[in-house]
Structure 1
């Protein structure tokens, strides 16, 4: 039997989210911080793309850089999120445009910087001290909105459930890492 790998934009976004959940829980993994950033960035990007791509992605998420050669490139994360904020691009009857809080915006910028540093290492070292959850929690809020609450993404059977499970797993992992102290 021949092994065949199949994926698409939505499946890729879901996989990134599931991987972020796996890496976030693995406190013993040396490169946990890096892989949570890369996976969470991939999930955020993927759900943003799926939220605005509609039936013709060339009209929204790609940019033609050379009319003669017809070369296209995918817009970067911050530009895709700008599109998600545009109510004119909502193509679903009950769909909603993205609205970000200042805290969410800052977390996304930080996540984007971490991901870019991890993915495009120069000839230098890199150290981060502290928890990642000041970035994870607000980014999860945005992913939850784009993936579930905006109603802009059409899912195949079982996909939406996987998204909800991965989000719940990550949210629980963040909560367990930073338990709220109660007064006695």
Structure 2
């Protein structure tokens, strides 16, 4: 038995997809699993945004002000400020712009209004779960499968179509593709089930 949990930015992203898939398979029998699907979806999208934006260093995934301070300190051979990941909404805006232009063939993400809405809703739900304030709270779950499917579209673009993610670990890309395929089937079935009920 190994005593070390080892991870990196690719493992974090694929692991979040695994959690999405595993909890999605349980949600038909346990509606509370939607909490974990929401959290894992947020984590997966954030991970793939980082993978697509990272350009050999962490400057593009830091808040802009911190990145400037870091670069100034580096150039002046001074102690470097501690790195910190930019906010989820800022990372989402960055994948739509020039920060994605890492390579000659790189592509930035062009969002639909529906994808923007789903990302905003995902952020709100995730924050409400993570920073839960004691209260009675009821969530209409019938729209969550389509929300997650929209998030998967963005992840697929970042992971494969942006041409920015370098899959260096053998089999990791194929596993991620397989997980997304399974997730789509599960989420579409849940969506159909909820539509019949409503």
TM above 0.5, yes or no, is: yes
Q: What corresponds to 2:38 in structure 1?
A: 37
Deviations 1:90-141 (A, max 9, x none): 2233221111100000001001100000011112232202321131111111
Are the counterparts in 1 of residues 20 and 36 from structure 2 also a CA contact under 8 Å? yes
Which of 147, 151, 154 is the equivalent residue of 1:135?
A: 147
Q: What corresponds to 1:162 in structure 2?
A: 175
Q: Structure 1 stretch 127-136 or stretch 153-162: which is displaced more?
A: 127-136
Which of 166, 179, 188 is the equivalent residue of 1:175?
A: 188
CA–CA separation in structure 1 for the residues paired with 2:108 and 2:80: 34
Are the counterparts in 2 of residues 13 and 42 from structure 1 also a CA contact under 8 Å? yes
TM-score by length of 2: 0.83
Are the counterparts in 2 of residues 47 and 146 from structure 1 also a CA contact under 8 Å? yes
Deviations 1:52-91 (A, max 9, x none): 011011x1111329x6982442111110111111135422
Q: Per the alignment, do residues 101 and 84 of structure 1 end up closer, same or farther by CA in structure 2, a change over 3 Å counting? A: same
CA–CA separation in structure 2 for the residues paired with 1:33 and 1:86: 31
Q: What corresponds to 1:109 in structure 2?
A: 120
Q: Structure 1 stretch 94-103 or stretch 121-130: which is displaced more?
A: 121-130
Are the counterparts in 2 of residues 148 and 160 from structure 1 also a CA contact under 8 Å? no
CA–CA separation in structure 1 for the residues paired with 2:32 and 2:90: 28
Deviations 1:21-71 (A, max 9, x none): 1111212234211000000000000000110011011x1111329x69824
Task: Please tell me the root mean square deviation across aligned C-alpha atoms, in Å.
Answer: 2.1
Structure 2: tracts of 5 or more residues without a match: 70-78
Are the counterparts in 1 of residues 53 and 99 from structure 2 also a CA contact under 8 Å? no
Please state how far the C-alpha of 1:5 moved relative to its aligned partner.
1.2
Alignment of 1:31-70 (within 5 A): 31-57=32-58, 59-63=59-63, 64=66, 70=81
Structure 1: tracts of 5 or more residues without a match: none
Structure 1 moving runs of 4+ over 4 Å: none
Are the counterparts in 2 of residues 95 and 150 from structure 1 also a CA contact under 8 Å? yes
TM-score by length of 1: 0.88
